[in-house]
Copies of this chain bind each other. A is one copy, B any other.
Amino acid sequence: MRGLNMLSTGQIVRTAPVSHQLPPAARGTALRAQAFTPPTRFAVLDSLGTLCRFTKNEMLFAQGDEAKSAYKILSGAVRLLLVTGDGRRQIIGFRLPGDVLALDCEGVCTMTAEAVGSVTAVRCSRARIDRSIAERPQVREQLSRMLWQEVRDLQRHLVVLGCQTAMERVASFLAQLARRSGARDGSAVEIHVSRKDIADYLGLTLETVSRTLSELRRRGVIDFPKSREVLIKSLDRLRELTADAS
- Chain A residues with a Cβ under 8 A of chain B: 63, 82-86, 88-90, 92, 104-106, 110-111, 134, 137, 140, 143-145, 147-148, 150-152, 154-159, 161-163, 200, 202-203, 243-246
Q: Which residues of B contact A163 (CB under 8 A)?
A: 84, 88-90, 200, 203
Is A159 a contact partner of B244 (Cβ separation < 8 A)? no
Assuming the contacts A105-B148, A144-B144, A147-B148, asked whether A155 and B88 have C-beta atoms less than 8 A apart, the reply is no
Is A92 touching B203 in the complex (CB atoms < 8 A)?
no
A85 CB to nearest chain B CB (Å):
5
Q: A104-B147, A161-B162 provided; 14 other pairs, C-beta below 8 A?
A: A63-B245, A82-B245, A84-B243, A84-B244, A84-B245, A85-B245, A88-B163, A90-B163, A92-B158, A110-B155, A150-B151, A154-B155, A162-B203, A163-B200
The complex places the Cα of A203 from the Cα of B89 at a distance, in Å, of 18
In the assembled complex, 16 residue pairs joining A and B whose CB atoms fall closer than 8 Å, in A order, are: A63-B245, A82-B158, A82-B159, A84-B163, A85-B245, A90-B163, A92-B155, A104-B148, A106-B148, A110-B155, A134-B137, A144-B144, A144-B147, A158-B158, A161-B161, A163-B200
CB atoms of B147 and A90 under 8 A apart: no
Measured CB to CB, the closest approach of chain B to A137, in angstroms, equals 7
Known: A110-B152, A154-B154, A161-B158. A84 touches B147 (CB 8 A): no
